[in-house]
Amino acid sequence: MFLALALVIAAAAGGVFWARSSDAFRVESLILSPGRHVTKAQLRGATSTAIGANLLRIDVEALKLKVAAIPYVRSARVYRRFPDALEVQFEEYEPAAVVQASDGRRWLVAEGGRVLETAKGTSVGNLTLIVPSSEAWPQAGGVVAPQVVGSLSVAALVHDPQAWPASHPVKRLVVDDFGKVVLILGSGVEVRIGDPTHLQQKLMVAARIIDLKLREGRSFEYVDVYDPSWVVALPKKP
């Protein structure tokens, strides 16, 4: 009995060894479906080492990390498809804002701060431009500074008509080293938000003050809603 069991175990081990070294499980193809932003070329570049390798010996986790390093990839999954293929599936980031670097270049950034690529023409769309007051050097696949990440929630809301009126378009958003946010409107008026907290209340109050002053025929330099219960509006100097 013990001899029979030993023979079974030895045969199984031999089968595994054969499978892990046999050309029968050599990867011949990759199943790749490009996304809106991620190309087949990028996916091939991340998984090229798998071609010709034994399907059972491939480090699937290492391949996932390579795919996830593509800037637009939010998450990745790699599956063995016997007998001779690998399939890659992934989810993509979408641009949430544009961040201006210290050299003037502009970068598309996703929610959470992931840097996607340099902004080109129509790729910007109606995304909010964020200008850090300190030095910023985004790199594709990296993450912007924490204070810029904090300002992304403001950048999203100013394009929500329920949070901010389209009649007061935002030209850019400035964020300082401490994460304090200032909106620069197309009219030149500053809306000083401060910390990106209680945003809906701050934006609602600021919009009402701006509308009120305009109806009164008055112009001003800024509206300060750091504390939305105590708003300050500075008139323009004559």
DSSP string spanning 159-194?
Answer: T-TTTS-TTS-EEEEEE-TT--EEEEETTS-EEEEE
Reading the block at residue 52, the tokens are: 């010709």
Asked if 87 and 108 sit in the same domain, the reply is: no
Asked if 16 and 48 sit in the same domain, the reply is: yes
pLDDT, residue 123, reads 66
Report CA torsion sign: 92, 95, 101, 105: positive
Rounded Cα–Cα distance for residues 224 and 232 (Å):
5
Asked if 123 and 211 sit in the same domain, the reply is: yes
Mean pLDDT for the stretch of residues 57-85: 95
Task: Give yes or no for a contact between 226 and 179, defined as CB atoms under 8 angstroms apart.
Answer: no
pLDDT, residue 22, reads 54
Asked if 145 and 69 sit in the same domain, the reply is: no
User: In sequence order, what are the beta bridge partners of 26?
Assistant: 54
Q: Which residue has the higher pLDDT, 215 or 181?
A: 181
Reading the block at residue 220, the tokens are: 């001003």
**Amino acid identity, position 161:** P
Q: What is residue 75's three-state secondary structure?
A: strand
**Amino acid identity, position 208:** R
**Amino acid identity, position 117:** E
Asked if 140 and 192 sit in the same domain, the reply is: yes
Q: Which domain holds residue 21?
A: 2-92
Nearest C-alpha neighbor of 95 from the set 83, 79, 107: 107
The answer to whether the bond into 83 is cis (omega within 30° of 0) is yes
In a domain, 6, yes or no: yes
Asked if 112 and 80 sit in the same domain, the reply is: no
| For residue 163, pLDDT beyond 60 | yes
Out of 92, 108, 141, pick the residue that ends a domain.
Answer: 92
Asked if 105 and 128 sit in the same domain, the reply is: yes
Asked if 162 and 99 sit in the same domain, the reply is: yes
Asked if 114 and 87 sit in the same domain, the reply is: no
In a domain, 238, yes or no: no
Instruction: Put residue 228 in one of left, alpha, beta given phi > 0 → left and psi -120 to 50 → alpha.
Output: alpha
Asked if 169 and 77 sit in the same domain, the reply is: no
Percent of residues, the chain, with pLDDT higher than 90: 81
Q: Looking at the 3D structure of the chain, how many domains does it have?
A: 2
Q: Tell me, what CATH number does 136's domain have?
A: 3.40.50
In a domain, 235, yes or no: no
Q: Token pair 């109806």 is at which residue? A: 215
Mean pLDDT for the stretch of residues 48-68: 94
Q: What pTM did the predictor assign?
A: 0.85
Reading the block at residue 78, the tokens are: 């790699």
pLDDT, residue 18, reads 39
Out of 65, 92, 119, pick the residue that ends a domain.
Answer: 92
β 73-81/170-175 pair status: unpaired
In a domain, 237, yes or no: no
pLDDT tens digits for range 95-153: 999 999 999 999 999 999 999 999 987 667 789 999 999 999 999 999 999 999 999 99
CA distances (Å), origin 141, targets 45, 93, 107, 160, 175: 15, 11, 11, 27, 22
Mean pLDDT of the chain: 89
Q: Tell me, what CATH number does 20's domain have?
A: 3.10.20.310
Q: Token pair 């991620």 is at which residue? A: 38
Out of 40, 66, 92, pick the residue that ends a domain.
Answer: 92
Asked if 17 and 132 sit in the same domain, the reply is: no
Asked if 221 and 140 sit in the same domain, the reply is: yes
